[in-house]
Structure 1
Amino acid sequence: MDFCAIDFETATHERSSACEMGICIVQDSKIVETKTWLIKPPSFPYFNPFNVNVHGIRADDVKDAPTFDEIWYEAEEMMYGTLMIAHNAGFDAGVLRGCLEYYGMFKPKLNYLCSIQLAKKSWNYLPKYGLKNLAEYHQISFNHHRAGADAEVCAKISLLAFEKLLLSSNEEVSEYMKSKIKVL
């Protein structure tokens, strides 16, 4: 299994307002790298208090951070050619799309999958499928609502789901989850 898990935190309700991005790279079913970037969003210095309440990232934390367009090429290179997985992927894919559009950048042809869909197929008896609930169920502790930590837990849960579903290759995942895989 080769894939990347991605997570964003945002400064406002705007999809282009990423203030943190985390990517966890999985190669041969092993986590090989997790990277986190703080990002100065277009709304800077404005951060919605609701969003700050969720993730704790403030304008002061990103005042010297690069903008999305300054870090995207490094991130894209890490993700190149792999399946992207996110927990609540519609949100994260929307943020990625929003950031790329805001900066007028080329949108890569990227397949993505939601780890909530994977979890529901793997553990269909659980009452809730939030990242925190799944992490607790699997006894994984993490700093919730920080992009790198969330991306890594998403990767760990995805690996556990693939194991439970007896999926051992990207081809098997593509076939099994065919209707759930979307294109950015």
Structure 2
Amino acid sequence: MDFCAIDFETATHERSSACELGVCIVQDSKIVETKTWLIKPPSFPYFNKFNVAVHGILPEDVKESPTFDEIWYEVEEMMYGTLMIAHNASFDAGVLRGCLDYYGLFTPSINYLCSIQLAKKSWNYLPKYGLKHLAEYHQIHFNHHRAGDDAEACAKISLLAFEKLFLNSNEEVSENMKTKIKKL
């Protein structure tokens, strides 16, 4: 299995307001790297108090950080050619699209899968499928709502789901989950 798990935190309700991005790279079913970037969003210095209450990232935390367009080429290189997985992927894919659009960057052809859908298929008896609940169920400890930790927890849960579904390759995932895989 080769994929990247991603997670965004945002400063406001705007999809282009990424203030943190985490990317976890999985190669041969093993986590090989997790990287996190604090990002200065277009709304800087404004951060919505609700968003801050969720992730705890403050404007002063990102005042010296790069903007999304300044990190995108490194991020894109890490993600190149792999399946992207995110927990509640429609949100993270929307933020990625919002940031790319805001900065006028080319949108790459990326297939993505939601780990919630994967978890529902793997553990259809659970009462909840939030990242925190699934992590507790699988005894995965992480700092919730921090992008790198969330991306890594998503990767670990996805690997456990693939194992439970007896999916051993990207081709098997594509075939088994074809109705759930979307294009960015």
Amino acid of the structure 1 residue aligned with 2:142 = F
User: Any idea what the Cα deviations from partners look like across 1:114-165, whole Å, max 9, x if unmatched?
Assistant: 0000000000000000000000000011000000000000000000000000
1:29 correspondence with 2:23: no
1:103 correspondence with 2:122: no
Amino acid of the structure 2 residue aligned with 1:6 = I
Shift of 1:75: 0.5
Shift of 1:31: 0.1
- TM-score between both structures, scaled by the size of structure 1: 1.00
| Alignment-derived partner of residue 130 in structure 1 | 130
Describe how 1:26-105 pairs up with structure 2 within 5 A: 26-105=26-105
Unpaired runs of 5+ residues, structure 1, are none
Tell me, in whole angstroms, the C-alpha distance in 2 between the residues paired with 1:179 and 1:76: 25
Percent identical across equivalent pairs? 86
Tell me, in whole angstroms, the C-alpha distance in 2 between the residues paired with 1:73 and 1:17: 18
- TM-score between both structures, scaled by the size of structure 2: 1.00
Tell me, in whole angstroms, the C-alpha distance in 2 between the residues paired with 1:35 and 1:148: 6
Amino acid of the structure 2 residue aligned with 1:173 = V
Structure 1 residue runs of 4 or more that deviate by more than 4 Å after TM superposition:
none
Shift of 1:11: 0.0
RMSD of the alignment, in Å?
0.2
Amino acid of the structure 1 residue aligned with 2:102 = Y
Unpaired runs of 5+ residues, structure 2, are none
1:20 correspondence with 2:20: yes
| Alignment-derived partner of residue 119 in structure 2 | 119
Tell me, in whole angstroms, the C-alpha distance in 2 between the residues paired with 1:50 and 1:37: 21
